[in-house]
Structure 1
Amino acid sequence: MAKYEVTKTLDVMGEVCPVPDVETKRAMKKMKPGEILEVLIDYPMSKERIPEAVKKMGNEVLEIEESGSSEWKIYIKIK
Structure 2
Amino acid sequence: MARVDVRGEICPRPALIVRQALSDLDTGETLVVRGDYPPAEENLRRMCTTHGIDVTTAETAGESDEFELELRVTEMASLSEA
**Pairwise same-fold verdict (TM > 0.5):** yes
Candidates 20, 24, 28, aligned match of 2:14: 20
Structure 1 position 47, deviation (Å): 1.2
Displacement of 1:70 after TM fit? Answer: 0.8
Q: In percent, how many aligned pairs have the same letter?
A: 30
Once the 2 structures are TM-superposed, how far is the Cα of residue 72 of structure 1 from its aligned partner? 0.4
RMSD: 0.9
Matching of residues 1-79 of structure 1 within 5 Å: 7-68=1-62, 69-79=64-74
The TM-score, its normalising length taken from structure 1, stands at 0.86
| Structure 1: unaligned runs, 5 residues or longer | 1-6
The one-letter code sitting in structure 2 at the alignment partner of 1:9 is R
Task: Give unmatched runs, 5+ long, in structure 2.
Answer: 75-82
In the superposition, the TM-score normalised over structure 2's length comes to 0.83
